[in-house]
């Protein structure tokens, strides 16, 4: 049985698939080149079909995007579809990375224990958006000291002195979106402003 046509078809689809995967995730060729060690020109030629895909090129790209190699070559999906994320522990918190590709914005789920209740302010480059999933989050930001409950959101420039943790009563679960270079989330759809009642 001749598999050559099927192989040629699969290889021809790799370039467009690579470009679609990268653009859907908002990753530039420059960022992908830095993450993979592959030159921008080679990546561009791969996406346009001017360079034949090889394992040496596809493996670093699959690792950078954190997707299976099968997804890059369009192999049929098999096996367990569940994604097993690996939590990291440190700084008196459990952090579960949710973003699986390089890019300006990274998202995390954080579980902050009740023992993380003594403010230790810090500053660094970036911009952070936080959504409280469960518990009560204490946020100290410059001169402000606020407590947020489930469903409440805070956003701030991390160059300001800040700290966040528990109120000391119970653990807190938080969704965090962080831009290392100060990137912010862009809201494309906003609720219409309420009209003032006449009279």
Lowest mean pLDDT among 5-14, 15-24, 34-43, 167-176: 5-14
* Nearest residue to 129 via CA among 174, 179, 94, 176: 176
pTM over 0.95: no
In this predicted structure, what is the pLDDT of residue 160? Answer: 93
Task: Inform me whether the pLDDT recorded for 65 exceeds 90.
Answer: no
Task: Inform me whether the pLDDT recorded for 194 exceeds 80.
Answer: no
- For tokens 């023992």, what's the residue? 115
| Residue/partner pairs of 96-101 with CB below 8 Å, 24 or more apart | 100/65, 100/66, 100/67, 101/25, 101/27, 101/64, 101/65, 101/66, 101/67
In this predicted structure, what is the pLDDT of residue 27? Answer: 87
Walk across the sheet containing 172-179 and list its strands: 88-90, 93-97, 105-112, 172-179, 127-134, 153-157
- CA dihedral (30, 36, 40, 43) in degrees, to 10, reads -120
In this predicted structure, what is the pLDDT of residue 57? Answer: 87
Mean pLDDT, residues 76-81 taken together: 58
List the structure tokens of 130: 């936080």
> pLDDT digits over 106-142, tens only?
888 999 999 999 999 999 988 999 999 999 999 999 9
Mean pLDDT, residues 70-99 taken together: 73
Residue 61's Cβ-side half-sphere holds a number of Cα atoms within 13 Å equal to 30
> Cβ distance 66 to 72 under 8 Å?
no
């Amino acid at each position: 049985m001749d598999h050559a046509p099927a192989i040629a078809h699969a290889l021809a689809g790799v370039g467009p698939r690579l470009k679609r995967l990268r653009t859907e995730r908002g990753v530039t060729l420059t960022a992908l080149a830095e993450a993979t060690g592959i030159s921008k020109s080679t990546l561009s030629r791969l996406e346009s079909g001017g360079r034949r895909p090889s394992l040496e090129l596809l493996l670093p790209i699959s690792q950078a995007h954190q997707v299976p190699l099968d997804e890059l070559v369009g192999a049929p999906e098999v096996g367990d579809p569940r994604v097993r994320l690996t939590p990291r522990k440190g700084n008196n918190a459990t952090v579960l990375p949710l973003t699986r590709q390089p890019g300006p914005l990274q998202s995390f789920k954080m579980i902050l224990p009740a023992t993380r209740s003594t403010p230790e302010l810090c500053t660094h480059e970036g911009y952070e958006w936080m959504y409280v999933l469960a518990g009560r989050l204490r946020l100290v930001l410059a001169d402000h000291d606020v407590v947020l409950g489930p469903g409440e959101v805070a956003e701030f420039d991390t160059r300001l002195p800040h700290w966040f943790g528990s109120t000391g009563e119970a653990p807190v679960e938080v969704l965090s979106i962080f831009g290392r270079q100060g990137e912010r989330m862009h809201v494309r759809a906003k609720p219409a402003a309420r009209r003032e009642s006449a009279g």
